[in-house]
A and B are shown apart, each in its own frame.
Chain A
Amino acid sequence: EVQLVESGGGLVKPGGSLRLSCAASGFTFSNAWMTWVRQAPGRGLEWVGRIKRNADGGTTDYAAPVKGRFTISRDDSKATAHLQMNSLKIEDTAVYFCCLGSGYSDFDYWGQGTLVTVSS
């Protein structure tokens, strides 16, 4: 069974940084494309970005609101994906979900999410 566990969320001041992690199990992580999606309070789902598997170049893509501030990385040896968030804004407040793409789509499996609150 594929399981994804996010961690690293919390309260941070505007302009601050936070690093989220997504630990995966039950799948050969090196074969997975990893994606981050967020949901602001009372809002819908918003795609944040993704990283391809290293065999496909390990390249990243980002949504415009986070490009230049957020960085997605992966550590295949630890079956973990990371979302480094810098220059955080109040509007980045959201539950952040990681998703694992196992070959059918980018979103085959989801974690339960971790809450990030940006507030002074």
Chain B
Amino acid sequence: DIQMTQSPSSLSASVGDKVTITCRASQDISNHLAWFQHKPGKAPKSLIYAASSLQSGVSSKFSGSGSGTDFTLTISSLQAEDFATYYCQQNDAFPFTFGPGTKVDIK
């Protein structure tokens, strides 16, 4: 199985901060990488697919980059509604696997 790692595992940030989360795959997955936002008790939300394509209806403050094994999710200016856990996921090969998550909370 393809292993996904994320760093950091958690971070504290202030409203207005730029936040960057890194995701690494254990093998080359091309651009078959997605990012999701999850708040407790809520439905997870798709942010980015194909590494850098913004999901319909998602704010442009979210951006994704990378290919191969190294990927990044950036939130350009953190807002109150962005405090959540963020997961990356590879969809290059079965089983599709998720990273362990990065929890973003308020400093």
Contact = CB atoms under 8 A, between A and B. Distances in A.
13 contacts: A44-B98, A45-B38, A45-B98, A45-B101, A47-B89, A47-B97, A61-B94, A107-B46, A107-B49, A108-B46, A110-B43, A110-B45, A113-B43
Interface size class of B (residues with CB under 8 A): 20 to 34
A110 B100 CA distance: 18
The interface residues of chain B, by DSSP majority, are classed as: loop
A120 B64 CA distance: 44
B41 A112 contact: yes
A50 to B, nearest CB: 8
Contacts of B45: 110
Contacts of B96: 47, 106
A44 B99 contact: yes
Interface in A59-115: 61, 63-64, 97, 104-113
A104 B49 contact: yes
B83 interface: no
A4 interface: yes
A31 to B, nearest CB: 15
Given A104-B53, A105-B50, A112 B42 contact: yes
A47 B98 contact: yes
